[in-house]
Structure 1
């Protein structure tokens, strides 16, 4: 990771994280028409469940291509986000979403145990995402129920 050279406020870090989430909702295009990858440092890391750890823009691009290829649409619910700031470079966003996966639709809370609730832990320095670890259930359409007795009792 690069040495920090620009001081950032929590609100500035939040704005970078929001730009990332909005770009994800906009098929990888930022509000200025750029690529979502422009928001990342060259040596950034992104972790996505069931994909693993991507290091560097090339691997992050592959991760987003792989994940994005399974989604028809996604919409994060910005007004419902919870933000946590650490007083350093870390920003945590917790929220909900809905959308359409190739296996079917999802909406947070429908069913209550299903996909749509997520938490992202960002490390943001110099107006770039250095690290984004994504915590969610990647079974968007809720089809993986047989392995969980409490879900397959119906």
Structure 2
């Protein structure tokens, strides 16, 4: 596959997720290697379904600023940096663009037309509720 085709597949993933379209699973190999902070590393489409169920239980919606993506490619790897946001199941919107900026980086590796590896690097504290670390890192208290 050529670079542009791989980039389009990665973008298709985000569009399907934002639309709540479960056919995003068709973009992955059966034994995909997956990582998401606080979920951990897992293998297979079943792990993606389990992750989707878990994160879906805490969100009512999610969006990705696809037009603002910074995309880097190297061989069969597509790296997507961007911003995301949404609404938590309790109605809290994120990011707050103060502490929570909704920044993420997803690394996709492909074989043919399928994603064989997806590692997501993001702070899963979407609505900025981890007050202990926020207080320390924002400089509000001295450690």
> Which of 81, 96, 100 matches 2:87?
100
Aligned residue for 1:61?
49
Give the 3-state SS of the residue equivalent to 1:147 in structure 2: helix
> Which of 4, 16, 26 matches 1:23?
16
Quote the RMSD (CA, aligned, Å): 1.7
Gaps of 5+ in 2: none
TM-score (norm 1): 0.83
Aligned residue for 2:63?
75
> Which of 124, 127, 137 matches 2:123?
137
Gaps of 5+ in 1: 1-7
Q: Is the 8 A contact 1:75 1:99 kept in 2?
A: yes
Give the 3-state SS of the residue equivalent to 1:142 in structure 2: coil
Instruction: Output one character per residue of 1:78-118: Cα deviation in whole Å (capped at 9) or x when no partner.
Output: 111001011x11110000112112352112x611x314100
Residue 10 (str. 1) matches residue 10 (str. 2): no
Moved runs in structure 1, 4+ residues, more than 3 A? none
TM-score (norm 2): 0.89
